Every structure is written in C-alpha cells, then in structure tokens.
C-alpha cells in the first residue's frame, strides 16, 4: 500500500504480512478513505487466515472471528470497513464444510474480488456522475475522495476524472481539510499527477468563493450514509453543505452502495470517531498551540439529507426522498441490475 501519511513529501510503499500490521495501518491512517479501508480489512482477514496454523476448519473460523474483531476496532465511522469484514465472514460461514487450505484460498480470492469490484464500482460511479458535470465547471471538494481513498479511481474524484476524460474542462477547488490536510496533501497531489486543474484553498475560504459565484458544484465522498440519506463525511462537510444551500449550489455525494448503511434510519445513529488532540495542536508534527489546551477533534460530521442534491452510486443516481430512492437502488442491486 502507498503510505498516505507520508504524501506528498515522500511516495513510499509498505507491505503488511499480517492482520495486525493492517489494523495498525488503518488506525494510524497510513491507509485511509472509506472504500480503501474496507479493501485493506478484507486483505487483513485473508492474511490472518494465511498465517494461521489451525488444524481444523472450525478452529480457523474461530481465529477469523478474533481477527475480524481486531480489524473492526480500528475506526468506527466508515461503514465500508464493517461491510467488508462481514462479507469476508459470510464467505467463510457459507463454506464451512471446506478444508482449512481451501478456506484460506477462498478468503484470498474474496479479498481480491472485493478490490477488483471497488475499482469497477468507482468507474461506474464516474460514468453516472459525469452526466452531472458541465464543460467549464468549477468543482469544490473536501478531504480526499480519490484514487488514494479507493483501490484506484476514486468516488467524488472519480467523477471528476471521468468528466475530464470525456474532454470537459473541469477545475477543482480542493479544501485543505484540517486537521490532517487530506485535501492539501492528497487531493492536490493526486489531481496534479493527472494534469487535472486544481487550486488549493483553506477550509474557511469556501464560503467566500461560493458567494462570488466561483463554485458551480460541490462533490464529496461519504463514510456512511443512513437509509434516509443523511451522510457522514470528513469534518467540515456539513459546513460546506449549509454554505452550498445558502448560495444555491448543488451538492452531490458520490459513494458506492457499500457506504449505505441500511441498518440505520438516520444520521443521528452514526458513531463519530474522535481522534487524538495532537492532530489539532500540531501540523506535520510541529506544535502550533499551547501544550495543555483542551481540544475537541471529531473526524467526521453529518449532513442532513435536505442539503444533498443527489447521491451518485454505481447503481445510478438517487434524489430525495432518499428513504425511497436508496431502497430502489438496493432492489436494483439485489436483482443484479446493470448500469
């Protein structure tokens, strides 16, 4: 995996040989972004199984449950993590009769399949979402919802990529995204690599740009979408959503179906991760605030569904009322519908 904590200063890759390494990488955000941590967790389980010396299938299954528990304790908000873990567990439970070695290969294949599926899903979201993008659009985005946050293409930035690939002239304003600067470090880096025009701004500049008519659309990813469409994403997204509505700018959420949590009705049920105070009192390790100052550091916030113009998924575009439109997409998915 590329070490996202080092970018853009160093482009370094690291390898994990066991599930503990994967869990630590997710926790410390060397790998981050909802779909990417789901894929990483799936490989974490496959690695855990590969390293197991269990003599029987039931012993292996018990070990997998422990490994799944360790991985699920890493980050609480992005539902893709739990979705991928559940899918790996289900693959095992559905094939309990297999021998140990067969189960190990099955898990490896399932992890590879989840990774490939993510790449395909992102491309499909790009196709659907690019319909919403017009030639000459200025697009504001927050955090990093790009190739880095997925296996290779991105969600919100996947839509930008697709539109750019179709020859539409798009320009992105990237919020720097304090405290961990995913916008400045990752989104700016990723877009520049692809020659997609990007301008970096600090988070507090977004409202001014909108009020001056310099933003046509806001495109963001998501960490968890409740069944009524309320959406958790990187802290600061809610602020953008309110500003976008005030300035009559459409805001689109781009996320795979695996980010929709049909087990919860509204955003109030989403657990919001709180992270170390040092992320706020320091920038790139350098202290910028009094050592003992009390800090509040929620990593995500929740946009009520009324602020969301549409949700782009690989199964199509949902518009309000979301309780109904998201369910329809789910039925389409369960029926194995195509693009």
Pick the closest to residue 193 from 172, 220, 216, 224 (CA basis). Answer: 172
Single out the residue of 25, 84, 181, 222 in contact with ligand MRU (rule: CB under 6 A).
222
Question: Is residue 223 near ligand MRU by the rule CB under 6 A?
Answer: yes
Question: Is residue 7 near ligand MRU by the rule CB under 6 A?
Answer: no
| Cα distances (angstroms) measured from residue 2 to each of 40, 109, 148, 153 | 12, 22, 8, 14
Q: Would you tell me how many other CB atoms lie within 10 Å of the CB of residue 330?
A: 17
269, burial (CB in 10 Å: exposed 0-12, middle 13-18, buried 19+): middle
Asked if 177 and 33 count as a contact pair (C-beta separation under 8 A), the reply is no
* 321: preceding bond cis by omega (within 30 degrees): yes
| Alpha-carbon 172 to chain mean position | 19
Single out the residue of 48, 76, 126, 221 in contact with ligand MRU (rule: CB under 6 A).
221
Part in contact with ligand MRU (CB under 6 A); list of ranges 6-14, 50-58, 218-226, 289-297: 218-226
Question: Is residue 150 near ligand MRU by the rule CB under 6 A?
Answer: yes
C-alpha to C-alpha distance for 324 and 194, rounded to whole angstroms: 37
Question: Is residue 78 near ligand MRU by the rule CB under 6 A?
Answer: yes
235 token code pair: 């802290």
Asked if 113 and 70 count as a contact pair (C-beta separation under 8 A), the reply is no
CB-nearer residue toward ligand MRU: 129 or 221: 221
Q: How far is the CB of 298 from ligand MRU (least distance, A)?
A: 11
CB-nearer residue toward ligand MRU: 37 or 64: 37
Which of 223, 230, 261, 301 is flagged as catalytic?
223
CB-nearer residue toward ligand MRU: 48 or 221: 221
203 three-class SS:
helix
The answer to whether residue 301 is catalytic is no
Asked if 89 and 68 count as a contact pair (C-beta separation under 8 A), the reply is yes
Part in contact with ligand MRU (CB under 6 A); list of ranges 30-38, 62-70, 113-121, 290-298: 30-38
CB-nearer residue toward ligand MRU: 19 or 30: 30
Q: Dihedral through CA 51, CA 54, CA 60, CA 65, nearest 10?
A: -70
Question: Is residue 159 near ligand MRU by the rule CB under 6 A?
Answer: no
Single out the residue of 139, 149, 302, 311 in contact with ligand MRU (rule: CB under 6 A).
149
Single out the residue of 81, 133, 145, 241 in contact with ligand MRU (rule: CB under 6 A).
145
CB-nearer residue toward ligand MRU: 107 or 198: 198
Question: Is residue 182 near ligand MRU by the rule CB under 6 A?
Answer: yes
Single out the residue of 25, 34, 103, 209 in contact with ligand MRU (rule: CB under 6 A).
34
The interface with ligand MRU within residues 261-300 (CB under 6 A) comprises 299
Q: How far is the CB of 259 from ligand MRU (least distance, A)?
A: 8
Single out the residue of 228, 234, 240, 322 in contact with ligand MRU (rule: CB under 6 A).
234
Place of tokens 């790996």: 88
Q: Would you tell me how many other CB atoms lie within 10 Å of the CB of residue 324?
A: 12
Output DSSP code: residue 223.
S
Catalytic residues: 223
Residues lying near ligand MRU in the complex (CB under 6 A) are found at 32-35, 78, 143, 145, 149-150, 155, 182, 221-223, 233-234, 299
């Amino acid at each position: 995996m590329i070490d996202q904590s080092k970018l853009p200063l160093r482009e370094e890759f690291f390898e994990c040989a066991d599930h503990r390494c994967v869990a630590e990488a997710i926790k410390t955000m060397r790998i981050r972004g909802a779909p990417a941590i789901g894929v990483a967790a799936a490989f974490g389980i496959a690695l855990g199984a590969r390293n197991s010396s269990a003599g029987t299938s039931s012993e292996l299954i018990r070990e997998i449950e422990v490994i799944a528990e360790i991985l699920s304790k890493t980050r609480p908000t992005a539902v893709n993590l739990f979705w991928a873990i559940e899918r790996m567990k289900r693959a095992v439970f559905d094939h309990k009769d297999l021998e140990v070695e067969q189960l190990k290969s099955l898990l490896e294949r399932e992890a590879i399949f989840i990774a490939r599926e993510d790449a395909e899903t992102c491309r499909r979201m790009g196709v659907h979402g690019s319909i919403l993008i017009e030639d000459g659009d200025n697009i504001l985005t927050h955090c990093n919802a790009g190739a880095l946050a997925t296996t290779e293409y991105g969600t919100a930035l996947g839509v930008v990529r697709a539109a750019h690939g179709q020859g539409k002239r798009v320009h992105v304003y990237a919020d720097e995204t304090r405290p961990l600067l995913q916008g400045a470090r990752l989104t700016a880096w990723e877009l520049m690599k692809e020659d997609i025009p990007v301008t970096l701004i600090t988070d507090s500049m977004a409202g001014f740009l909108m009020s001056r008519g310099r933003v046509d659309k806001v495109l963001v990813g998501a960490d968890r979408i409740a069944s009524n469409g309320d959406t958790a994403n990187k802290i600061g997204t809610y602020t953008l959503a309110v500003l976008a509505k005030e300035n009559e700018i459409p805001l689109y959420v781009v996320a795979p179906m695996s980010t929709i949590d049909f087990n919860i009705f509204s955003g109030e049920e989403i657990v919001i991760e709180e992270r170390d105070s040092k992320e706020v009192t320091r920038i790139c390790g350098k202290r910028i605030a009094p050592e003992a100052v009390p800090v509040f550091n929620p990593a995500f916030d929740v946009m009520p569904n009324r602020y969301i113009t549409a949700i782009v998924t690989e199964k199509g575009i949902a518009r309000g009322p979301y309780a109904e439109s998201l369910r329809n997409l789910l039925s389409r998915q369960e029926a194995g519908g195509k693009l």
